[in-house]
Amino acid sequence: MYPKIERVFLACQDTYCLNVKSEPFTMSAKLTKAEQTRRTRCAILERARYLFATKGYAATGTEEIISELGITRGALYHQFNDKLGVFKAVIIEAYREITDYIQTKIQPLDNNWQQLVVGCQAFLEVAQQDELRRLVFVEAPAVLAADELAKIDQYGFGLLYESIQMAVAEGQLNTIDAEGFAHLVNGSLNELAAWVAQSDEPERLKKAQSLVETLLMRHRS
């Protein structure tokens, strides 16, 4: 949630996929081997994401992922090792989209405190966005270990932590430990998001947003 941080993605090729998602999966003799590899990777991710979001991880087989793409199981294993590797890549991409969504919400705001509050509330909004809701708040916690999810969320947590540090430095937030408070807020957000994801009711989202704002306001200097 901080414009000052330069965004550094995890070392993988999936940022490329953001630019080719809408293109049909076809291979051309004009493509280099590297480009063919990237296109294959992106096609697998796009197909797997749809299946994981609609059927769930457990109900999705590797054969179903590749059957409509005209690629071999070996090609999938070469890119991701196994189905779990595909799922991790899908979740990493989903977390990037969440961060991008939050950035669009806070970008017009100049005040760090407003960015902190609005950024937290924007995170909760994602919990009622159909595809991301199931991927991030239902499937990911059920499939991935807590430490694996923490690694995936490292960038987002870093933004939250820095915003809290900035609020403390500016005299806007009173806490005995900024890092500990960042973990408190992050944990609260994850639990609230899981709660919000269980319902389509806008009122539940509003309650969750009010709760996190209250948590922050009670520590405001």
At 94-117, the pLDDT tens digits run 999 999 999 999 999 999 999 999
Please give the Cα distance from 164 to 50 (Å, whole number).
35
Per-residue pLDDT for 174 more than 80?
yes
pLDDT score recorded for residue 29 = 53
pLDDT score recorded for residue 70 = 86
Residue extents of the structural domains in the chain: 14-85, 87-217
pLDDT in tens, 153-170: 999 999 999 999 999 999
The pLDDT > 90 percentage for the chain reads 74
CA 5, 7, 9, 14: dihedral to nearest 10 degrees? 160
Q: What is the overall mean pLDDT for the chain?
A: 88
Q: Residue 220 — φ and ψ, nearest 5°? A: -80, 140
Architecture of the structural domain at 87-217: Orthogonal Bundle (1.10)
pLDDT score recorded for residue 8 = 32
Please give the Cα distance from 66 to 55 (Å, whole number).
15
pLDDT score recorded for residue 14 = 54
Least confident of 38-42, 155-159, 196-200: 38-42
Indicate if the alpha-carbon torsion angle 210, 216, 218, 220 is positive or negative: negative
Per-residue pLDDT for 19 more than 60?
no
- C-beta neighbour count of 32 within 10 angstroms: 8
Per-residue pLDDT for 202 more than 90?
yes
pTM exceeding the 0.75 threshold for the entire prediction = yes
pLDDT in tens, 59-91: 999 999 998 888 888 888 888 989 999 999 999
Per-residue pLDDT for 18 more than 90?
no
Please give the Cα distance from 11 to 32 (Å, whole number).
21
Q: Which fold has domain 14-85?
A: Arc Repressor Mutant, subunit A (1.10.10)
